[in-house]
Each structure stands twice: as structure tokens, then as C-alpha cells.
Amino acid sequence: MDLDLSGRSALVTGGGKGIGAAISRELSEMGARVVINYRSDQAAAAATAAALGNVQTFGADVGDPEQVARMVAETGPFDVVVNNAGMLRDRLLLRMTADDWDQVLRTDLSAAFHVTKAVVPHMLKRRWGRIVNISSIVGLGGNPGQANYAAAKAGLVGLTKSVAKELGSRNINCNVVAPGYVHTELTASSMTEEMLAELIKLTPLRRQGQAEEIAAAVAFLCSPAASFITGAVLVVDGGLAA
């Protein structure tokens, strides 16, 4: 199986910690030059980069198209892009503010649009590209208290399928990875032990996922081995949504 990305350049948004760090590590080990994007946690991004070779970091709010354009101009061009940046502002619908809605849609959905639009011209010239958007099983089935997050993650699926159809003729593949509940700092801060125990009980594999397991799925979709896969949604959830 051809998983070699030597000579390729990759951008991972939100790539400094959690799932993003695992993805950055996997792509680097496959031979790609990796740029780790971060918005606020420079220390985490620097620590991840320091443990890897051929990696640099760049601070930018990917919800801002001007910052995205500067990042791509200064660190690109890119052959591989993983739109992983995300945030949570969980509240029940009647308590959710307009700002809660806007900020999550901006970071979890609009950012993927801005980044994809910025990197595609180079991919078109080279007639080769891999775009992977990190959604969630919440975007496929919804979840109480996460209307904003679910809408954003569902929107990524629609964005992905549209981009796949627009760019497939130029050998640019665009896919989604939809993780289930994975052990990260973000999920740990948003779930009680009781909630986690119930989710594990409902998961056929009877455990949480690990960031490295999501990264392995992303790495496959970024590799030459996945050359005939585009517009797909790869669910990596231990069977929770089965």
C-alpha cells in the first residue's frame, strides 16, 4: 500500500494538539513537509513541532480569510490539507446565543471554506491534491445541546461532496472523516464521567477512540493509496453510529 507523501507539503489546521497533533505527526512520518496551524495555543503547537522533523508552525485564525491568505502565501503552497480546527460552545437551543452559533459556525465550517479556497489554485496547477475535512458523528445524527456544532459538522459533509464533484476531474480528492468520541482535552472538558461511561456502553468496541486512530484514517485518505476515493464520509467511531 502506497502511503508515501515524500515531496508533498501538508497543512493541518488546529494541528498543535489532540487529533490535530496526531494527524500532524502521521503526515510528517509519511514524509510530508507539515505546517501546523494554531490560533491561540502556540506552546502546544511548538511542542508538537519540536518532536517532529520537517515541521513548522503558523499562528492564524482560520475563520478570517485575510489571515488564511497570509498563512498560505507565507508557508505554502500545499498538496495536502486537513481542515481540523474546531471549537465547542454547547448549550440547549433556547439558551444558545447568536454569538455561540456564529463563533462555532465560523471556526468549524467557514474556516474550511476559506482554507480550501486558498489552497486549491496550487492543486489545480499540479493536478493533484488531497483535502480531508474533520467532521463528527454529531454532524450525521445531531446531539442535544450541540445544534451549532452539529450544523457546522453537517455542513462540512455538504461542502466536501460539492468540492469533490467540482475538482475530481483535476485529480483533487476531498473526503470527510467523522470521528466518534475520542479521548482528547476537548472532549474531556465537555463530558462528565457518567456521560462517558454511557457512551462507552453504547459503543460496540466498548471504549473511547484514540487520536492516533483518527489520524490513521486521515493519513490513508491523504495518501496515493486512496486515489479512487472522493466525496466519501469515513466514520471512525467504534461502531457507535452503526
So which residues are the catalytic ones? 149
From residue 237, alpha-carbon distances to 47, 138, 166, 177 in Å are 28, 11, 29, 10
Instruction: Kindly state the cell numbers that stand for 156.
Output: 462540512
Question: At a CB cut-off of 8 Å and minimum separation 6, what does 41 contact?
Answer: 16, 17
Q: Are 181 and 239 in contact (CB under 8 A)?
A: no
Q: Are 28 and 56 in contact (CB under 8 A)?
A: no
Q: Are 230 and 168 in contact (CB under 8 A)?
A: yes
